[in-house]
Amino acid sequence: MSLRSRLLSSTCTLALVVAVPAAASAQALASGRAASADAAVVAIDTGELVLDVGAARGVHDGDLVELWRPVRLRHPVTGQMLVDRFRIGALRLTQVRSALSLAVIEGPISRPPAIGDVVVLAARPREQPAPVLTAEPGPSPTAPPASSANPYSTTVDPDGQALGELMSALAGSDPASRTMAYETFVRAHPKSRFVKVLREEVAALRATHEATPQKNHQWSSPKLERVRAGEPQQFAVELDPQFVGAVVHVRRKGTAAYRSLPMASLGPRYWAATLPGDAMTDGGMEYFVEGVPKETPAVPLIGTAEEPRAVEVDALPGSARPPGTLAQVTLQSEYASFNTKRANDYVWQTEGSVGWRLQDRGIRAVRSGFGILRGEGGSLKNLDELGKDPTAVGLTYGYIEAELTLSSSTSFIGRPILGLRDNGITGGAQAFVRIGSDLRTNLSIGGEVLGSVGQRGIVQLDWRTVPRVPVVLRTEVTTQPASSGDVGARAIAQVGYQLTNELVLAVRGSYQGRTINHAGPGAGLAASYQW
């Protein structure tokens, strides 16, 4: 017999013999209502409530049910999760279908109903104990002798009562606890007619646990493998009824602290929360889930704080991406004034490029681009002391660029430049050392020599920590635009925003000067598209 068949057979047998244990049933119905939630309000439509209970649960048109409001909150002092519920009124079923029912408010109600409210079915007290079904056949019920063992007798069956109490005590328990309880019962009741069935059940539970040791029968959840950076993610789990609350803990991968999010009830057994978008970053996201029992502290169910579940994050443009070919087109334009008082020392530069990122070893990327530079400048003596006219500068240039990896965290970028000016051809070069991955936060240090335009040293930080918001911080020491020999300094900040998965737009602001009286602001725009 297959494992599945044995489980089904033993489970059906257990269900038959304990279907109506007198002691357990009487205790559960002593208060006239079920001990736990039987249904929930799943929708409200023009004054009528839709309940997830139908005729299959034994309800009929006109039945009365109770409406309870679940309450879940965290204690402001101890931090413990407090879970309870309060009765707010009664409902009468007006239309009972196979899986759903319509209900209306019956009598006074303390507050308006809401989706997620708990519904408890009112049980009718019995006038006599329920009959106990036994596995031993008796004489025909048409004419049973007075001394015969009638299978429909209301006499309490000790074996059935003991097993019924065991099954009631094990409600909601995990497979390991259930296995140990069955074995204890068999040792305590060696002559019980249920010993064979319980032994088969123990064997089946052990085989299932050994075959799938990672399976936890107290919960189930969708497999959360990939999320998109910066976008909130809906997450839900199904928990055993023994849990009256749930908490999901999330953090950015590589950080120490978790953010704890209480999960909201979606009805019996189901709990959900919205994972925050700022936890979805380039490096990935980690999480674990705890269940909150009625009386004991919370217990980990999905992962733990020490061994959380890891989730890959689909990267945004300009942030982490899986290795492989990546194409990018960029365009930027900037105006920078070194002297706003006389407007005689400035540069206007527009540059565009197209590139391909290949891999993280060897040649990491190749790029090609063009630029147009226009401006005026000169020495401080000629411009400020002698009042001479500035020298006009014009250059149109093109370049090719390659990035070579030196190690897993270091690369070298080289760019030869060829340009045209009014009186001929000129050349130049640019070189950088990049520390860190170009797809994550990184630091570049280098410089540029550009024909008769001048030289500049550059330090640039590409900050990729905030989802959807790439930031560039840059400083320059330069003699551009007129190669005057007088050194100026620039401070530049650029902030971008990801409009789509491929497109990023950015604004740039700067301030530059050669002396405190020879300085001015600058501004620019940039756009990049990659796929």
466 C-beta neighbours (distance < 10 Å), count: 12
CA 25/CA 34 separation, integer angstroms: 10
Instruction: State the pLDDT at residue 157.
Output: 67
Tell whether the model's pLDDT for residue 141 goes beyond 50: no
Instruction: State the pLDDT at residue 494.
Output: 97
Rounded to 10 degrees, the C-alpha dihedral 112/116/120/121 comes to 100
Tell whether the model's pLDDT for residue 210 goes beyond 80: no
CA 436/CA 442 separation, integer angstroms: 5
| Lookup: tokens for 44 | 């409200």
Tell whether the model's pLDDT for residue 11 goes beyond 50: no
CA 298/CA 350 separation, integer angstroms: 59
CA 176/CA 184 separation, integer angstroms: 13
Instruction: State the pLDDT at residue 234.
Output: 80
Secondary structure (H, E, C), 101-120: EEEEEECCCCCCCCCCCEEE
Tell whether the model's pLDDT for residue 222 goes beyond 60: no
CA 508/CA 495 separation, integer angstroms: 7
Task: Locate all alpha helices (DSSP H) within 2-152, ordered by sequence.
Answer: 3-17, 22-28
Cβ neighbors of 433 (< 8 A, separation 6 or more) are 410, 411, 412, 413, 444, 445, 446
Residue 414 CB-half CA count within 13 A = 6
CA 225/CA 228 separation, integer angstroms: 11
The secondary structure of 233-264 as a DSSP string is EEEEEEE-TTEEEEEEEEEETT-S--EEEEPE
Specify whether the backbone of 348 is left (phi greater than 0), alpha (psi in -120 to 50) or beta. beta
Give the model confidence (pLDDT) of 159-204 as tens digits.
777 777 777 666 656 676 677 778 888 888 888 877 877 887 777 7
Q: Which CATH superfamily is domain 3-138+155-211 in?
A: FlgT, C-terminal domain (2.40.10.410)
For domain 219-314, the question of CATH label 2.60.120.560 is answered with: no
User: Which residue type occupies 387?
Assistant: G
Q: What is the mean pLDDT of residues 434-448?
A: 92
- 8 A C-beta contact, residue 453 and residue 472: no
CATH 2.40.10.410 intervals, the chain = 3-138+155-211
For domain 326-530, the question of CATH label 2.40.30.10 is answered with: no
CATH 2.60.40.10 intervals, the chain = 219-314
Strands 285-293 vs 309-314: parallel, antiparallel or unpaired = antiparallel
- 8 A C-beta contact, residue 401 and residue 445: no
Query: Among 9-13, 62-66, 416-420, 453-457, which stretch is predicted with the lowest mean pLDDT?
Result: 9-13
CATH 2.40.160.40 intervals, the chain = 326-530
User: Which residue type occupies 354?
Assistant: V
CA 228/CA 239 separation, integer angstroms: 26
| Lookup: tokens for 271 | 């709990």
- Mean predicted lDDT score pLDDT of the chain: 78
| Lookup: tokens for 484 | 């005057």
**Nearest residue to 444 via CA among 423, 414, 489, 466:** 414
Instruction: State the pLDDT at residue 274.
Output: 86
